Amino acid sequence: MDAVAPLAMFVPLAGAAVLAGLTGIVHRVVADLYVLVVTIATTVLCAVLLRRTTDHRVLHWFGGWRPAHGNAIGVALTVDTIGAATALLIGVLALAAFIFSWRHLESGSRHFHVLMLLFEGGMIGFALTGDLFLLFVCFELMSVAAYALTGLKMTDAGSMQGAINFAVVNSAGSFALLLGIGLVYARTGSLNFALIGQTLAGHPADGTVAVALVLLVTGLLTKAAIVPFHFWLADAHAVAPTPACVLFSGIMVELGLYGTARIYWTMFSGALVPRQHAFGLVLLGLGAATIVVGGMMCFLQHNLKRLLAFSTISHAGVILVGLGLMNHDALAGAAVYVVGHGLIKGALFVMAGIVLHRTGALDELSLRGRGRAKRMWPSSALFIVSGLALAGAPPFALGLGKSMIDDAGAGYWWLPWLLAFSGVVTGGAVLRASGRIFGGWGSDEGIRYPADTYAELHEEHETDAAHERTPLVLIFPAFALLALSLVVGLWHGLADHVEIAAARFVDRPAYAAAVLTGHDHLISVSTKAPAVSATFIGIAEAAAAIALALVSLACQPVTARWRSKRVDAYAPMAVLRDLHSGRAPDYVAWFTLGLAVFGGLTYVAVH
Amino acid sequence: MTAAVQTLVMLSVAVFATVVVLTRDPLHQIIALTPFSISLILLFTVLQAPDVVLSAVVVGMLAWPVMVLLALGKLRRNEVDP
Amino acid sequence: MNARARRGVFLVGAVGVFGYLMWGVAGLNGFGHHTQTALRYANGVVAAASPLRHASNAVTTVVMDVRGVDTAGEELLLLAAIVGMLMVLRKADDEEIVPARLEAPDRVGTGRSRATSVVAVSVAAAVGVLGLYIVAHGQLTPGGGFQGGVVLAAPSILLLIGARHETFERFHYGLAWEIVQAIAVTAFLGVGVAGLIEGRGFLANIVGPGSLGTVYSAGTIALLNVIAGPAVATAVVLAALQIYHQMIEIRRER
Amino acid sequence: MIDHLPYVLAAWLLLVGLYGVATSRHFVHLVVSLSIAQASTYVLLLEVGYVQGGSAPIFKDVPSATRVVDPVVQALVLTDLVISVAVSGLLLAFIVQSHKRTNTTDPTAPQPLAG
């Protein structure tokens, strides 16, 4: 029996349990070294696991409860290439976050490391599980650790608000998830993905199956911050400690989408075959709404972390579009996109943390020119490169993933435009902020909401004060993540590998056979080379993002003038911003409406 | 007979849950929570789940109210003694 | 959104969700009725519980053996929540700790007679023994580590909150509770790793099944119950005491 | 159809609980309402595992051939109960600290992060 998979999950978790007892006794330096060793060990285990999945799916039956007589009562870890790669991404981002946190956090660090390890282990378990209820337990484990991490700065009203909103909305999502599990269990008498998929396949989806699918996916899309379940994300990201944000935006949100793809392709794809396209359209619609809302809100923000948070929402929409296309080519694109986005977004949050470390503020407007005055040249260069990469500039991995989704969705003329919108607007927002902070361009006036000015008032709690130099351990993680994104993007033949992995991911009968009978059958598919035009599209998007940033820097006063006219051009955006009210009851009302709409659309799609 | 008892208990769970939610004052709400917890425990009993009953008793009637009451106490002290 | 708009949005959504859920449950078997498929997991567990594991309580067999990894996750989740609560409720830089005995001098050495204390301690001890009983018999009767753990925690909380403040301070400050919790959770995972070393899988039941119906039956099920008991008890004690400490002793610096 | 009425209870608990959250004017009320919504999950799971005429899944005095209710869902509910307490405890801690800085327990009060 292969021990690597459970170890990859339980090394960080056991590390956290041991550290919880040691943390009050040992010195901070010892604790840091210990955490570093545990994190590196975890990353290595994930890498070994990835290596092993190249020729078979790695299985582990907890307690040795293997399936017998066509019945699987045991709990399984079922690891394929995409699952192992996700776990490895978690490990890499966690490593970067830990290195960054050495110098960054002062207060509350005793508990911080324990929570980060629990968070990491919960996420890895989520990526590796082949069991529906273990998925739920890992979902909750990573949620509880994440709520606590968000509330690290407990003296700050904003932190508490962010943590409360995060916990309330995600709890509502977890109820949906568990109700869905109840329906699936009632129908199939199983909690194993493969066995459920085998039982559901062949019968057209009826009400129970459709409702179970919607409830499960709603729970996961809440974690993935898909409109209208997305409200918690910006509040939580704006206040969470920067190292936690690297993991939140870099991978936690994407895990919701990973889970959606996993449960769909292992459990429901057999039952939805004739209706697959229609259900895909529902997901495409949700993804499109998320891209637009996230992108617009991103561009309207002045708080750096909140700006990045909304950018994550927009990009989550792109990934959901990749899933909604319902074929393995698009899924491969989405997988590459997740890696590309996770690395870039991790780097960007690290950069925001550096700005905070140096200046004690995060508000773009009040920071105008401060980056130049402080001579933060390396940071400014990294910021601009990250902004371009976020827009989809080649040869970074995010642009590669985007072109793969574009190719796979060739049937929809509007798809490239939608994806380009996400990249141009979020990349443009990052470039605009860099221009203002590091170049001193633009004006320092703008339309301000409480969230914009929030940073100035409270953020100084995270670090001691404004510092004069950027320590190497702070900038190194950003540099490493960006470099890694470049390496992945330049990796010759990566697209082929991922397409094969994705084709195996969606191969439900082979998955079921591997789990239930132990006979693995890995298909290989012919892959096609990405179109040459992809490079030009990426360059065009990056150029558009630069143009958008420059125009918005130059035209700031114009926006103010628009407002004074009789027709208020800002009004629609003001409505959008007012909807993000920061109040948990509002968010739960939207959650309920969203669940009803998603359910109604699926009803139409399945009928 | 079984069906009648089950129906009665389920109805009481629904009613008491609604009462808890509609009781807006937190302290009154904690009091309203007791009949809800009891009816929920009865429901678990008639659904033949003794392990869940035991858990629900220790959680619903012990751990949970203690935590909520202590938190309410702290909120009150915050107000008295800012 | 104002209250009316919010209520409107919610109610529209709620009507939709209700209708949708009804569509979902309409396809289920009637309450209390099942297809053989739906019952196969239960039948598999029942077939395994008593003959294979010598555990008469099938639920505990699921919690601590067949799906033991869920319980490992649950102990870790509890750890995360407690660490989070300790962190969030810690003393802030602009707050001070006013030891409870200074805060409420009238409670120090109240005229509580020795007899009262003896009664209190004996009642607490009785509840504690009940908790131990529930922990130890989890594989036989309803109960187990979690339920027994909370019962175990109750007397500690009551004694500490009711006791003289000196006693409260002596037992609350310091890391003993946290260390015990960490040891218990680590031990739980340690049992899991032992199964891996045996080559039978994480959390495999590596101890012999014992004889059905005795305290020593069911192998690691009993062992894991005994480990989970203190893990849960310390978690509950830490949660309650930290809120109490926050309530009584922490206040804004003047 | 009458056989399906018990499932309505789960839907009702979920929606009543969420209604309480959506209309709440006090954070503690919000947390309590959230726990009511969570009760829907216990109820649904136990209902789908109930077997007409089945006894509790404990074989102390009964031969193991008797009809019993599903032990698996009961195990799932046990885990779910722990999760509920853990999340509530954490939420209460946030609420206590939030109240110190904002002097309000009203979730609909203006929030520092809005827009």
Summarize pLDDT for C126-152 with one digit per residue, the tens.
888 888 888 888 777 777 888 888 888
Amino acid B1: pLDDT: 78
Collapse the DSSP code of C27 into the 3-class scheme (helix H, G, I; strand E, B; otherwise coil) and give the result: coil
CA distance D24 to A585: 7
Confidence check: pLDDT of B39 > 60? yes
B55 near D CB under 8 A = yes
CA distance A389 to A406: 17
D108 near C CB under 8 A = yes
Pair of tokens at residue B62: 């012990």
D and B in touch (3+ CB pairs within 8 angstroms)? yes
What is the per-residue pLDDT across C37-89, written as a single tens digit (0 to 9) for each? 889 999 888 887 776 666 778 888 888 889 999 999 999 999 999 999 999 99
User: Is the sign of the CA dihedral C67, C72, C75, C77 positive or negative?
Assistant: negative
Per-residue pLDDT tens digits of chain D, which is 115 residues long: 678 889 999 999 999 999 999 999 999 999 999 999 999 999 999 999 998 888 888 776 555 567 889 999 999 999 999 999 999 999 999 999 999 988 999 999 988 888 8
Q: What is the mean pLDDT of residues A225-246?
A: 94
B58 near D CB under 8 A = no
In Å, how far is C135's CA from the nearest CA of chain A? 22
D103 near C CB under 8 A = no
Pair of tokens at residue A539: 């360059």
Q: What is the mean pLDDT of residues A388-417?
A: 92
Beta strand C250-252 with A76-79 is unpaired
Please check whether residue A428 is in contact with residue A388, taking contact to mean a CB–CB distance below 8 angstroms: no
Nearest Cα to Cα of residue D50 among C53, C28, B8, A213 = C28
Amino acid A528: pLDDT: 67
**Chains touching A by CB (3 or more pairs below 8 Å):** C, D
Beta strand A58-61 with C250-252 is unpaired
Nearest Cα to Cα of residue A268 among A217, A314, A309, A221 = A217
Amino acid C155: pLDDT: 85
Q: What is the pTM of this model?
A: 0.95
**Which residue type sits at A154?**
M
> Which of C11, C46, C82 is the mutation pick for testing D, counting most D CBs within 10 A?
C46
Query: Interface pTM (ipTM) of the complex?
Result: 0.94
Please check whether residue C208 is in contact with residue C55, taking contact to mean a CB–CB distance below 8 angstroms: no
In Å, how far is D102's CA from the nearest CA of chain C? 14
**Which residue type sits at A106?**
E
Pair of tokens at residue A129: 């599980």
Sole residue written with tokens 């858990």: B55
Amino acid A445: pLDDT: 79
Better-predicted residue by pLDDT, A116 or D64: A116
Q: Point out the least confidently predicted range of A244-248, A596-600, C26-30.
A: C26-30
Query: What region, left, alpha or beta, does residue C96 occupy, with left being phi > 0 and alpha being psi -120 to 50 degrees?
Result: beta
Give contacts of D 10-69 with C, CB under 8 A.
10-11, 14-15, 18-19, 22-23, 47-53, 56-60, 64, 68-69
What is the per-residue pLDDT across A318-354, written as a single tens digit (0 to 9) for each? 999 999 999 999 999 999 999 999 999 999 999 999 9
Asked if C157's CB is within 8 angstroms of B67's CB, the reply is: no
Q: What is the mean pLDDT of residues A467-481?
A: 86
Asked if C200's CB is within 8 angstroms of A137's CB, the reply is: no
Please check whether residue A130 is in contact with residue A77, taking contact to mean a CB–CB distance below 8 angstroms: yes
Confidence check: pLDDT of A256 > 90? yes
The overall average pLDDT reported for chain C is 83
Nearest Cα to Cα of residue C186 among A347, A19, D22, A589 = A19
Amino acid C105: pLDDT: 53
Confidence band, pLDDT 50/70/90 cuts, at residue C210: low
Q: What is the mean pLDDT of residues A145-158?
A: 92
Which segments within A467-563 are labelled E, that is strand? Answer: none
C86 near B CB under 8 A = no
B41 near D CB under 8 A = no
Question: How far out from the chain centre does Cα C122 lie?
Answer: 24
Please check whether residue A347 is in contact with residue A456, taking contact to mean a CB–CB distance below 8 angstroms: no
In Å, how far is A207's CA from the nearest CA of chain C? 5
CA distance A349 to A304: 9
Better-predicted residue by pLDDT, C190 or A565: C190
Confidence check: pLDDT of A456 > 50? no
A590 near D CB under 8 A = no
What is the per-residue pLDDT across A527-543, written as a single tens digit (0 to 9) for each? 666 666 778 889 999 99
Query: Residue ranges of the alpha helices (H) in A189-275?
Result: 193-200, 207-223, 231-239, 242-247, 253-263
β-bridge mates for residue D58, sequence order: C57
CA distance B19 to C184: 40
Q: Give percent of chain A with pLDDT exceeding 70.
A: 93
Amino acid A459: pLDDT: 46
Confidence band, pLDDT 50/70/90 cuts, at residue A91: very high
A and B in touch (3+ CB pairs within 8 angstroms)? no
Please check whether residue B16 is in contact with residue B35, taking contact to mean a CB–CB distance below 8 angstroms: yes
Confidence check: pLDDT of C173 > 70? no
Q: How close are the terminal C-alpha atoms of chain B, in Å?
A: 57
Write out chain C residues lying below 8 Å of A61, CB-based.
Answer: 201
What is the per-residue pLDDT across A15-67, written as a single tens digit (0 to 9) for each? 999 999 988 788 888 888 999 999 999 999 999 999 999 889 999 999 989 99
Please state, as a whole number, how many other Cβ atoms lie within 10 Å of the Cβ of residue A9: 33
Nearest Cα to Cα of residue A364 among A284, A435, A274, A302 = A302
Confidence check: pLDDT of A457 > 50? no
Amino acid C244: pLDDT: 83
B50 near C CB under 8 A = yes
Pair of tokens at residue A387: 């902004």
The overall average pLDDT reported for chain A is 90
C-alpha distance from residue A216 to each of A132, A213, C72, C160 (Å): 10, 5, 23, 43
Q: What is the mean pLDDT of residues A157-166?
A: 94
Confidence band, pLDDT 50/70/90 cuts, at residue A461: very low
The minimal CB distance from C186 to the residues A18, A144, A183 is found for A18
